[in-house]
Amino acid sequence: MLDIKFLRENSDIVKENIKKKFQDEKLPLVDEVIKLDKEYREIKTNLDNLRSERNKKSSSIGMLMREGKKEEAETVKKEVSDINEEIALSEKKEPELEQEIRKIMLTIPNIIDASVPIGKDDSENVEIEKFGEPVVPDYEIPYHADILERMNGIDKDASGRTSGNGFYYLMGDAARLHEAMIAYARDYMIDAGFTYCIPPFMIHSDVVNGVMSFKEMENMMYKIEGEDLYLIGTSEHSMIGKFKDQIVKESDLPITLTSYSPCFRKEVGAHGIEERGVYRVHQFEKQEMVVLCKPEDSMDWYNKMWQLSVNYFRSLDIPVRTLECCSGDLADLKVKSCDVEAWSPRQQKYFEVGSCSTLGDAQARRLGIRTKGENGTYLVHTLNNTVIASPRGLIAFLENHYTKDGKITIPEVLQPYMGGKKEIILK
């Protein structure tokens, strides 16, 4: 969410930013919120004046009565009564305006970084760099669901009976490999200096509204019926929410956390849920990284964070690339974002396995996360990034470690998490 003062003083910049995000339908909102803000500030000023006037007149009533000026005192009492009625009307109008202003401000997108490429949707995202050689083997790589079935590692028939489409049972070596990749990611991030955390898997609506846009919430979040609780779509939600309404010590910045959680998503949209595979599902597990830092340090952390994800996948011998998200593909709160994509030798193309974003002070403003330094109190910047989301990461691993003779090789860094296994022989 933008600072209303910034919007008042830079409405042209805000409108140009809306155009860059191809959200022209929001352009009238800028003038509308400026008008409402003007009315709101006028009401606040008028209220201050009315209260001051009321206090002066109220204090004069006693003096007039002592002086025997009963008629004048009654006149002043009537004036005080009229002022009270006007105050009551304004006090009712003030929060209504405040709520309407906030509602609009929550829909106006954050100012994107100048380096973000301009484009309408993800088809116009820009490749930044490749890491590792994207090999196309001289043998066929099976579909990941077929590999998992040959491992006796998946049962979607049973999950269909228990939970419906978009869920799955992972079993045996497949389940172990899935968890091994997440456990390795946990230790990898701890070794990088991040503090490990397991957060709540449900959060209140005020936290949801603090970390994401309403449109994202509607398309992603599962609500617990009859309660003010939502299942998290990523641990970033509860990790940032941890600092709601807090003033963190400036000396504690940057705060660097890595968190494990299951994630739950509706996955509403044209892409749909896969019938056989586990690329797009309603439930998955994730190792995340979250950073709270000073504004001047946020872009450095952004670059450090996506590089950590790249290095994680490279340590597993999985070729990856980074893809800069264009303006139209950025969620409203994001300043800048890039996807980390893994190589699929089966499809001979890259696919998304994680995303790194800096949100400036947007989440901190919504949630009231501040720090206090020599120059006063200010909002922190927040960033988040995927280390690994599995089973999507598992798909990348299976495809890149599938051998011609029907085995899955296990790289050295993962072997301790697999009980020393160096390979999995498929049936």
Tell me how far CA of residue 154 lies from CA of 82, 151, 176, 228, 355, in angstroms. Answer: 74, 8, 12, 34, 26
Q: Which two tokens stand for residue 25?
A: 């339908």
Are 99 and 155 in a shared domain? no
Are 88 and 237 in a shared domain? no
Percent of the chain with pLDDT over 70: 98
Q: pLDDT for 363-405, tens place per residue?
A: 999 999 999 988 899 999 999 999 999 999 999 999 999 999 9
Percent of the chain with pLDDT over 90: 86
The total domain count for the chain is 2
Q: What is the pLDDT of residue 271?
A: 60
The span from the CA of 394 to the CA of 230, in Å, is 27
Q: Is residue 111 part of a domain?
A: no
211-225, 251-265, 288-302: least confident range: 211-225
Q: pLDDT for 29-72, tens place per residue?
A: 999 999 999 999 999 999 999 999 898 888 888 888 888 888 88
Q: What is the pLDDT of residue 273?
A: 63
Q: What is the pLDDT of residue 412?
A: 97
Tell the residue number behind the tokens 């305006």, with chain if given.
Answer: 97
The order of strands in the sheet holding 247-249 is 247-249, 370-373, 376-379
Are 61 and 146 in a shared domain? no
Task: List the CATH number of the domain containing 366.
Answer: 3.30.930.10
Q: Is residue 285 part of a domain?
A: yes
Q: Is residue 132 part of a domain?
A: yes
The span from the CA of 397 to the CA of 390, in Å, is 10
Task: List the CATH number of the domain containing 97.
Answer: 1.10.287.40
Q: Which two tokens stand for residue 259?
A: 């968190």
Q: Is residue 117 part of a domain?
A: no
Which of 123, 366, 139, 140 lies closest to 237, judged by CA?
366
The domain containing residue 327 runs over which residues?
122-425
pTM of the model: 0.90
Q: Is residue 114 part of a domain?
A: no
Q: Is residue 414 part of a domain?
A: yes
Q: Is residue 110 part of a domain?
A: no
Are 283 and 397 in a shared domain? yes
Tell which of 76, 105, 134 closes a domain.
105
Are 164 and 63 in a shared domain? no
169-173, 239-243, 276-280, 299-303: least confident range: 276-280
Q: What is the DSSP letter of 65?
A: H
Q: What is the pLDDT of residue 268?
A: 60
Q: What is the pLDDT of residue 72?
A: 84
The span from the CA of 93 to the CA of 163, in Å, is 48
Are 69 and 163 in a shared domain? no
Are 90 and 128 in a shared domain? no
Q: How confident is the model at residue 18 (pLDDT cuts 50, 70, 90)?
A: very high
Q: Which two tokens stand for residue 40?
A: 């709101």
The span from the CA of 358 to the CA of 296, in Å, is 12
Tell which of 45, 76, 105 closes a domain.
105
Which of 35, 43, 26, 27 lies closest to 8, judged by CA?
35
The span from the CA of 309 to the CA of 323, in Å, is 13
Q: Is residue 115 part of a domain?
A: no
